Amino acid sequence: MRFLDVAATSAAVGATSGRRAKVELLADALRRLEPAEVAAGSGWLAGELRQRQTGVGWASLRDLPPPAAEPTLTVAAVDAAIDRIAAVRGTGSQARRRGLVDALYAAATADEQRLLTGLFLGELRHGAQAGLLADAIARAAGVPVTAVRRALLLAGDLREVAVAALTGGAAALAGFGLRVGRPLAPMLAQSASSVDEALTATGTPAVVDVKLDGIRIQVHRSGRDIAVFTRSLDEITTRVPEVVAAVRALPARELVLDGEAIGLDETGRPLPFQQTSSAAARRSGSAGTRPGEPDGTEPDDGDTAPDDTAPDDTAPDDTGPDGIGSGSGAEGPPVAPAVRAAAARTGETVLTPYFFDLLHLDGTDLIDLPGRDRWAALGGTVDASLLVGRVEVDGPEQAGAAFAAALDAGQEGVVVKAPDAPYDAGRRGAAWVKVKPRHTLDLVVLAVEWGSGRRTGWLSNLHLGARDPATGGFVMLGKTFKGLTDELLRWQTERFLGLATERGDWVVRVRPEQVVEIAFDGVQRSSRYPGGVALRFARVVRYRDDKTAAEADTIDAVRAIHTARSGG
């Protein structure tokens, strides 16, 4: 299949609003892929490269060669070229990688170049979400969509499921099951602005789990072999020796656990997320073995940096006074002896695991059981010191008290859960609903970056600044393109070109006049920005034409939020 056809499908899907029409476009492209092309091609249609790490970033994509006049690339040729790029290592790798990138782009037409850039940068947003791809795979393969979705949940890999459906049909899809050692897409939580709203979705009675600000982990154990995966299904086993030690000390033979790993200070209060993620990113050395693989298996880079790790959709069990574990007290939660011993050997920050769900136990899959049954099995298998705080509630008053207790303990919020719901892997439904305090600030736009992919030709990524009352200037806090509709993109492109003081090929610097309201989940320390802090998960709420830059929030207000969240 021609690579140009994939690019054309991507563009057509992005320009189409109807779900059914999008599915038909995607299904038609999937049918035209050769069997050997399905893994790469289906991933591209979902906006993902088969090669998770290529070493190609913005710097590698500057000053690219002009596009080819005629299309010559095939799906197989592009996939092979990206394989070669991803394999570059060692001395002189930057120059060799740049040469390979230039050669690929020189052979690509303008439309193909746009698709390549979106794929390399992970910014291909043409509206083909996993749910749409599942429907399209079912349509293209002539199999029930329920069979595709079930296989996708258990495999956690859309490309693998697409290959099975398009080459083996329903029989191949039926072969997918929960396999210890192979991660599955975690169950996710939708958001609510209050516990009352969350209870409306889940119903009552419900359970309220403390939402930890850590790294989502899925732990697989088969005998002595243990593997730890992130939310994005990357393996980080060697980076979390405390998790491996804690799970190895449990009495079960086979386990699949869902939970969080979080750093704690000497009092047992949670460390800021940035410190937890940095501790995980630093780790190396042997800590465990992935089930079914030889010793020394190296994990892929996981979501261990603040921009990559989404500490979303956590959950917990038996709330103690500090809101973490059932055995915790005023001085902080107990840390399992195996965890403490592993941390003592490394001499680094203790990353303590806390679990909130059990998906497999000694040969039996539990994902289809109601939550109350899974959690009962969890409580009978995992020591109380390794369980996240959970309380059962009958109404808003109890849920509100649990929410307040979690925040007082320095936690991120809560997740309200329906106890009769199965584990809906990979789905974000009403059975789990997260509630976090939402911060907003009125900030000033300092510069804007030109968009890529579907946003090519529009000013997209905003540079955000807080007012510095000491100098009268503005302090940059980070960037965001989240929350921008097509209408806002059009408006802000015209607006900021009118405010431009310097127009570069990549960044347009503007007069600091436009105020924008930004919602965010927290403030973290940062050496990247001059104020020493940065916003986490920032997103645009609205532009504030009713405010001047002199009325924007100050850097002192931002630092106060960080100080309050980190306990001083």
As annotated, the active-site residues are: 211
DSSP codes, 190-207 = EEESSHHHHHHHH-SSEE
At 406, list the tokens.
């979690």
Q: 348 CB contacts (<8 Å, ≥6 apart)?
A: 279, 282, 283
The β-bridge relationship of strands 474-480 and 390-393 is unpaired
Give the separation between CA 233 and CA 25, rounded to whole angstroms.
28
The β-bridge relationship of strands 439-450 and 507-510 is antiparallel
Give the separation between CA 14 and CA 22, rounded to whole angstroms.
8
At 18, list the tokens.
């109807």
Query: Any idea what the Cα angle at residue 535 is, between residues 185 and 261, rounded to 5°?
Result: 40
Give the separation between CA 41 and CA 37, rounded to whole angstroms.
6
Give the separation between CA 478 and CA 375, rounded to whole angstroms.
40
How far from chain centre, in Å, is Cα 151? 21
Give the separation between CA 109 and CA 80, rounded to whole angstroms.
18
DSSP 369: S
Report yes or no: 553 and 467 within 8 Å, Cβ to Cβ: yes
Give the separation between CA 77 and CA 37, rounded to whole angstroms.
10
Q: 219 CB contacts (<8 Å, ≥6 apart)?
A: 226, 227, 228, 229, 243, 247, 255, 256, 257, 259, 353, 355
The β-bridge relationship of strands 500-503 and 413-417 is unpaired
Give the separation between CA 325 and CA 316, rounded to whole angstroms.
8
Give the separation between CA 350 and CA 352, rounded to whole angstroms.
6
Query: Any idea what the Cα angle at residue 372 is, between residues 217 and 402, rounded to 5°?
Result: 75
Helix (H, G, I), strand (E, B) or coil at 345: helix
Report yes or no: 14 and 85 within 8 Å, Cβ to Cβ: no
Helix (H, G, I), strand (E, B) or coil at 433: strand
* Alpha helix stretches (DSSP H) within 87-185: 93-106, 110-121, 130-141, 145-155, 158-174
Give the separation between CA 141 and CA 162, rounded to whole angstroms.
9
Q: What Cα–Cα distance (Å) separates residue 431 from each residue in 316, 423, 557?
A: 14, 9, 36
The β-bridge relationship of strands 428-435 and 188-192 is parallel
51: amino acid identity, one letter: Q
Give the separation between CA 553 and CA 547, rounded to whole angstroms.
11
135: amino acid identity, one letter: D
Q: At what angle do helices 158-174 and 130-141 cross, to 10 degrees?
A: 40
Report yes or no: 137 and 103 within 8 Å, Cβ to Cβ: no
